[in-house]
Amino acid sequence: MSARAALVLAALLMAAAVGAGAFGAHALRSRVDAAALGVWSTAVQYHAWHALGLLAVGLYMLHAPDRAGLPLAGWLFVAGIVLFSGSLYALALGAPRAAGAITPLGGVAFLAGWIVLAWAASR
């Protein structure tokens, strides 16, 4: 992942998080129960935080383009958003509970992304 790709993806993922938040607040409120709205809210929060994390990775890459680990950290944040938030969005919209088996994989990707970022920063 290049710095440019990280910054573009971060901006697009942040826009998607804002859209998902608005969708949950306005369109889903009358269609799903409170528990599903809570799941949706959790998905949006992790989605947004990790899009911001990807933004930070992209900015770091601009200042240290040869820093090992930064592209991997970025891809791990993207994978986490897709797997963690994506599975929670699906569950909130009525996907079978088996879709929840994907959620921890996204959580591991988030954790790994932060650990790789810490490793890259410490070098």
Q: Is the pLDDT of residue 53 over 90?
A: yes
Q: Where are the alpha helices (DSSP H) in 3-98?
A: 3-23, 34-63, 70-80, 86-92
Tens of pLDDT, residues 17-50: 999 999 999 999 889 999 999 999 999 999 999 9
pLDDT of residue 22: 96
The pTM (predicted TM-score) of the whole model is 0.94
To 10 degrees, what angle do helices 103-122 and 70-80 make? 160
Helix (H) or strand (E) holding 107: helix 103-122
62's tokens: 């601009």
At 92-115, the pLDDT tens digits run 999 999 999 999 999 999 999 999
CA atoms within 13 A on the CB side of 96: 2
Largest CA distance in the chain: 50
Write the pLDDT tens digit of every residue in 63-82.
999 999 999 999 999 999 99
Work out the burial of residue 53: count CB atoms within 10 Å of its CB; fewer than 13 is exposed, 13-18 middle, 19 or more buried: buried
Domain boundaries along the sequence of the chain: 3-122
